[in-house]
Amino acid sequence: MSTDADIARPQDTSVRIIDADVHNTVGDLTPYLPKVWHERWQRAGLGVGAIHYGNPRGVARRDADPPDGGTPASDPAFLVEDHVRRHAIDYVIFTGAHVIPMGPDPDYGNALAAAHNNCLAEEWLPLSEQFRGSILVNSEDPPAAAAEIRRMGTHPDMVQALMCGPSRAPYGQRQYHPIYEAAVEVGIPVAIHPGTEGSGLAWQPTPVGYPTRYMEWHNILPITFMSQINSLVCEGVFERFPTLTFIGIEGGIGWLVHLMWRMDKNFKALRDTTPWLKRLPSEYIRDHVRLTTQPMEEPERPHQLQQMMEMVHADRTVMFSSDYPHWDGDDPKMALRHMDRDLKHRILAGTAGEVYGLTTKPSTEYAAHPVTRPRSGADQPLSAVE
Amino acid sequence: MTRHRVGMVQDLERSHPLIVSVNGAEIGIYRVRGELVAWRNICPHQGVQVCKGRIAGTRLPSDVYEYAYGRDGEILQCPLHGWEFDLTTGQHLSPGSTARLRRFPVEVDGDAIYIHTRTYSGG
């Protein structure tokens, strides 16, 4: 006679959910910065001047304040309770409160990147096997960004290099290749994240000028992603670095099919202008570009989401992200509810597991550890505008 | 096959390509590497008269940021869009494309040029 124990299902060891965009707010960077930068950091923060676009209601969701009143996602224990455990997430990929913006002083940008990365590695990553980090880099100083990738890339819990979406020139151009060379060397992908479009030395957020308000700015963020992916493919970055993966975080998805079809059509006519491309542009995209889901498009007819996902080969190109704790975040169950089961699994964990090397279930133990809490004010003047 | 006399080799000296009509189908006759080839004057992409296109060379497949010009006189650029076709094979040069021009057998007998077409067997 069988008992409940006999027929109990073996413990599920497969990774179910990887969240590819969680904005943890690391502590004050002062202890991690050389003394020479302390005053600037405390007075000017990221130092890119005025932010043109901010959510008038604030960027953080209103239900994610830690119990002690700190900034949302600044308390790792509460982040685990409020987000990781609530949604049974296996791994979270931390993307920090902000990317390194395009500021005028490359030395300062480089110092900020290194300080953030050291702080993340010391104060956050040791707390849980479920935590994984992004190496922030100052993309406008490519040799320095490459050096930072090599410095931090050997850390076992750092799973990608992360840079701001906008750039002085399209990211596929040769001056940025040292970044990709370093990433390939240490075996991690390179990601971009919005937020600094129009800030600091960045160009206007659109080729037609400055949008009037935050919503307009946010609506059109995909233009940056289209521009960068277009450049990366046409400049032959994926021919030169055939093992490189490029990740577009929080830039939308639906436009990818248009970009792929348009690029393929033009390539059939203008192939000789990029004679180094040996395949259709869309094939490079399918093999090398990954996008994250949030903010998930919500079509008038929900079933069209599945169609759109099929058009972009989402089983290979799309990874789930929540954007916790931001105002426009997505719930893993709700955002994907109109998709079929196999595709949902690929998006929730399959592709991200391959991209980040996270294919075994982690321990869910959390090691309580004192952390330095961020102060309000100068340490996060550009935090989380997206 | 049916053999159609469509012109003289001297005509090809005066007009290259030589555009002829066989059973209502326009055909462009080219001399490539000393040999004659004949292609239907329709682009498989959007149906324009492909033989109005420029005869050119191309940038050969190369490493990133390297440029190698070659195949001068062997490439036909469609006048609309610029799709490149290999005049020796009819193949569209784009990787990932299976498009090709429709070929007609061509023959020189004496000084005369002949196009061969399939004989309609009726039914």
Distance CA A324, CA A79 (A): 9
Cβ-based neighbours of A148, under 8 Å, separated by 6 or more? A110, A113, A114, A117, A135, A136, A137, A138, A161
Return the bridge partners of B70, or none.
B58
| pLDDT of A136 strictly over 50 | yes
Residue B119: predicted pLDDT: 72
Sort residue A385 into left (φ over 0), alpha (ψ -120 to 50) or beta.
Answer: alpha
| pLDDT of A128 strictly over 70 | yes
Please answer yes or no on whether A264 and B96 come within 8 Å at the CB atom.
Answer: yes
Residue A358: predicted pLDDT: 98
Q: Tens digit of pLDDT for each residue in A246-288?
A: 999 999 999 999 999 999 999 999 999 999 999 999 999 999 9
Could you give the angle at the alpha carbon of A379 between the alpha carbons of A377 and A380, nearest 5°?
75
Q: Tens digit of pLDDT for each residue in B43-72?
A: 999 999 999 999 999 999 999 999 999 999
| pLDDT of B95 strictly over 90 | yes
| pLDDT of A5 strictly over 90 | no
Those residues of chain B whose CB sits closer than 8 Å to some CB in chain A are 45, 58-68, 81-84, 92-97
DSSP A154-173: TSTTEEEEEEES--SS-TTS
Euclidean distance between the first and the last CA atom of chain A, given in angstroms as a whole number: 59
Q: Are strands A190-193 and A246-248 parallel, antiparallel or unpaired?
A: parallel
Judging contacts by C-beta atoms under 8 Å, the chain B residues touching residue A280 are 94-96
Burial class (CB in 10 A: 0-12, 13-18, 19+), A314: buried
Distance CA B81, CA A165 (A): 32
Q: CA of A312: how far to CAs of A198, A247, A308, B70, B116, in Å?
A: 28, 14, 7, 36, 45
Q: Tens digit of pLDDT for each residue in A44-66?
A: 888 776 567 889 999 999 999 99
Residue A377: predicted pLDDT: 38
Residue B4 DSSP symbol: E
Nearest by Cα to A73 from A88, A61, A89, A56: A61
pLDDT band at B76 (very low <50, low <70, confident <90, very high): very high
The ipTM is 0.91
Residue B120: predicted pLDDT: 62
- The least confident of A149-163, A290-304, A370-384 is A370-384
Q: Tens digit of pLDDT for each residue in B37-47?
A: 999 999 999 99
A264 touches chain B (CB under 8 A): yes
Query: What strand order describes the sheet that includes B69-77?
Result: B54-59, B69-77, B84-86
Residue A48: predicted pLDDT: 74
Q: Are strands B18-22 and B2-8 parallel, antiparallel or unpaired?
A: unpaired
More confident residue, A150 or A13: A150
A268 touches chain B (CB under 8 A): yes
Nearest CA in chain A to B97: A268
Please answer yes or no on whether B83 and A269 come within 8 Å at the CB atom.
Answer: yes
| pLDDT of A12 strictly over 80 | no
Mean pLDDT of A26-46: 93
- The least confident of A97-106, A107-116, B81-90 is A97-106
Nearest CA in chain B to A264: B96
Residue B32: predicted pLDDT: 97
- The least confident of A12-16, A140-144, A206-210, B101-105 is A12-16
Q: SS3 of A211, please?
A: coil
Closest Cα in chain B, distance from residue A36 (Å) = 41
A250 touches chain B (CB under 8 A): no
pLDDT band at A209 (very low <50, low <70, confident <90, very high): very high
Residue A11: predicted pLDDT: 62
Nearest by Cα to A280 from B61, B95, B93: B95
Mean pLDDT of A195-205: 94
pTM for the complete prediction? 0.92
| pLDDT of A383 strictly over 70 | no
Burial class (CB in 10 A: 0-12, 13-18, 19+), A311: middle
Share of chain A above pLDDT 70, in %: 92
